Amino acid sequence: MPSLPTFQEMYSAIATRDDSFVGIFFVAVKTTHVFCRPGCPARVPLVQNVEFFSTSSEALHAGYRPCKRCRPMDTVLRPPAWVDDLVSRVDRNPQARISDWSLKQEGLDPERVRRAFRRSFGMTFQAYCRARRIGLALQSVREGQDVFTTGLDHGYESDSGFRDAFTKILGAPPSKAGSARVLTCRWLETPLGPMLAVADERALYLLEFVDRRMLETQVARIRGRFKATLVPGANSVLDQTEQELNEYFEGKRTTFEVRLELEGTDFQETVWKELLRIPYGQTRSYQQVAIEIGSPNAMRAVGKANGDNRLAIIVPCHRVLAANGTLHGYGGGLWRKQRLLELESGQAQLL
């Protein structure tokens, strides 16, 4: 992923409405929860109220919605009107699930919808819905807000959209989260994009890139397996995780010491523990992992357990390659897998 210009350069570009930066970055406004492209005709926000993203997907997953004036997700070709209608409907009710069946009932071919959204926005319609849903729920995590007492308004007429999304993604309405077993979650910034970390005072349960498609599934599995709800906050395990990740990306750490919660099926736990034995700077094939765990014919099952790993980077599934040495099957994106391997081989330093 290309690095962004400096903060000052980007703020200067939006202050002067310099549209030569279109495609280089997106600007998000914390007070309105809207993101724009450079050159947007809207009023220039105060410097303390802006942040910048490399892609529209990052902005969506950070909880922002696209500006209706500069339309930052549009490509050169304007999308058809029915695409605008679908986007508006998702913004009005982001927690609603719009199925292929319901699209058909409205006379829209689901495949046509997928193609139109991918062409116009670089992602499918369902990916757009998922990004808005997750982004809305993660907004409080990212800002560390007290969701029990703070009335949050994410650009909607009320905070009901946030509360519904919070319930669907994190497990319980904010006002009732205290009645369940609570795991604390925090948004962590990394050179490869933001990650969601989930822990209690004993161990780390989840560490995953927030734009990964499996994030909702992973959170749901944690909620179900541990009978827990997730709330934003801080604890010693999250502090340790953040510190160790920073040291890792600085090239100062080759092993992690934070305690991990690896509970899964017997086979999953066996695979995950074998992944932890792959040394920093080395790789293994799926077949080699299968042999090491005593199941030489279970390469596909090893790959499935690899994909189910909910502790990215720390349980180093990125160190597993195809038999011919090529990159294969990383939920966070093959570009991230490549960057992690480059870092560990000494070819790159990400901070």
Query: Which residues have a catalytic role annotated?
Result: 317
Strand partners, 186: 197
- Residue among 79, 82, 130 nearest 106 (CA): 82
Secondary structure E strands in 221-316: 228-232, 284-285
Helix/strand/coil for 231: strand
CA gap 329, 288 in Å, rounded? 16
Q: What is the dihedral of CA 219, 225, 226, 232, to 10 degrees?
A: 0
CA gap 104, 106 in Å, rounded? 5
- Residue among 24, 133, 125 nearest 80 (CA): 125
Where residue 71 falls (left for φ over 0; alpha for ψ -120 to 50; beta otherwise) is left
CA gap 294, 54 in Å, rounded? 43
The answer to whether residues 271 and 320 touch, using CB atoms and an 8 Å cutoff, is: no
